[in-house]
Amino acid sequence: MQIIALISSYGGWSWIVAGLALLALELVVPGGVLLWLGIAALVTGGLALALPIYWPVQFLIYGVLALVALGLWLKLRPTERQTDRPLLNHRAARYIGREAELSEPMSGGTGRIALDDTVWRVAGPDLPAGTRVKVTGTDGAVLTVEAAK
């Protein structure tokens, strides 16, 4: 009840102080949510200073503004970031399309190849050691291969 008494006694200024506090917190805890909550509080404070609005209506205005602002932000924010290194955390995917010779014969659908400085487990048809294979895909850290043409 103390918050309600504070809001009713200070009116719109309590919303403006709360909005500024939320904007300041956004600097410390980035993420975007507190920014829109702070803006909603500032708008509510401005309306409360300009118009004689009772505190329950002020809470309603703040709630609606906060929900609308967060909804628009979630809908309009960019979801994928473009990067110049899209395969940075997908090391195995970098080898798709490369060819190499089998280090060990493939039996039971698995074998090994050496690419760059790493020996990779591979999956594919049974082939003898020394056969040239082409990497066609990945399954986690296992490369999928087929005989090169």
| 97 & 69 share domain | no
Q: In which domain, by residue range, is 98 found?
A: 92-147
Q: Are 45 and 15 in contact (CB under 8 A)?
A: yes
As a whole number, mean pLDDT of residues 31-45 equals 91
Task: Decide the pairing of beta strands 110-115 and 118-123.
Answer: antiparallel
Please indicate, yes or no, if residue 127 is contained in any of the structural domains: yes
Burial class (CB in 10 A: 0-12, 13-18, 19+), 142: middle
pLDDT per residue over 104-114, tens digit each?
888 888 999 98
pLDDT at residue 43 tops 90: yes
Average pLDDT, the chain: 87
Count of the separate structural domains present in the chain:
2
> Model confidence at 2, in pLDDT bands (50, 70, 90)?
confident
Percent of the chain at pLDDT exceeding 70: 95
84 domain residue, yes or no: no
